[in-house]
Amino acid sequence: MSDRLSNLNQKDTSGNIQPYSRFVKSLQFILPIGALLLIGLIIIWPQITRIETEPLNERDIQALREAETNNTLLNPVFNTLDGKGNAVLISAETASQNRNDKDSVKLLNPIASMKDSNQTLEFQANEGTYNQTTKTLNLENKVVLKDDQNNILETEQLTANIEKNIATSNKPARLTTEKGYIEGQSVIIDQENQTTIFKGPAKAVINR
């Protein structure tokens, strides 16, 4: 009987030792990883805190306000008519319409094409604003105007009254043709009468 008890005790003891040894070995592996994770958390915690607590700057606030008040369209196209019933096509990369002013649309990289019986005019710029009620297109930042004869007018601001077929600029402008170029402090383009008038001190250079 004593031998049986002795054998039983030996079996029970060996069975308990094996799980315990495996547990100790797993602790030897887990503890270093836990220490590394803790060290990493201590290092990045100031950055996490800064991200969570850093206040919005003015640009962020302005972007949020614009997102709340503006509707934006991608690759918009506007079709209208001038005073003579000629088709006018205005396109852009994006168009932003303010909910408080639905008549005015801000354009990114706008291109406008105006065609009549005599010629076609194409306007392009980096920025623009189109008023759908007054049919007024205001272009800004590297404005370029081209016609069928490859005459090119360049300025920094141009307002085109589509209804009256007149475009004006109070900024310095330069018209380049095959015969030379003309520069002035402002310009009036009258599509109705087929005239271009430069004002202010003007300069003309004729190619020989």
In the structure, what pLDDT confidence band is assigned to residue 6 with cuts at 50, 70 and 90?
very low
Written as one letter, the residue type at 83 is: G
pLDDT at residue 35, rounded to an integer: 57
pLDDT at residue 1, rounded to an integer: 43
Taking the C-alpha atoms of 116, 117, 122 and 127 in order, what is their torsion angle to the nearest 10 degrees?
-10
Given a cut of 70, whether residue 4 has pLDDT beyond it is no
CA distance 175 to 165: 18
Give the position of tokens 């004006």: 168
In the structure, what pLDDT confidence band is assigned to residue 77 with cuts at 50, 70 and 90?
very high
Given a cut of 80, whether residue 149 has pLDDT beyond it is yes
**Which alpha helices (DSSP H) does 54-147 contain, by range?**
58-69
pLDDT at residue 60, rounded to an integer: 62
Given a cut of 90, whether residue 176 has pLDDT beyond it is yes
CA distance 75 to 95: 8
Q: What is the mean pLDDT of the chain?
A: 78
Q: Is residue 84 packed enough to be buried (19+ CB in 10 Å), middle (13-18) or exposed (0-12)? A: exposed
pLDDT tens-digit readout, 44-58: 555 555 544 456 567
| DSSP-based three-state secondary structure for 146 | strand
pLDDT over 70 percentage in the chain: 67
Mean pLDDT of 81-105: 87
- How far out from the chain centre does Cα 118 lie? 36
DSSP character for 50?
H
How far apart, in Å, are the Cα atoms of 69 and each of 2, 61, 101, 126?
A: 91, 13, 10, 23
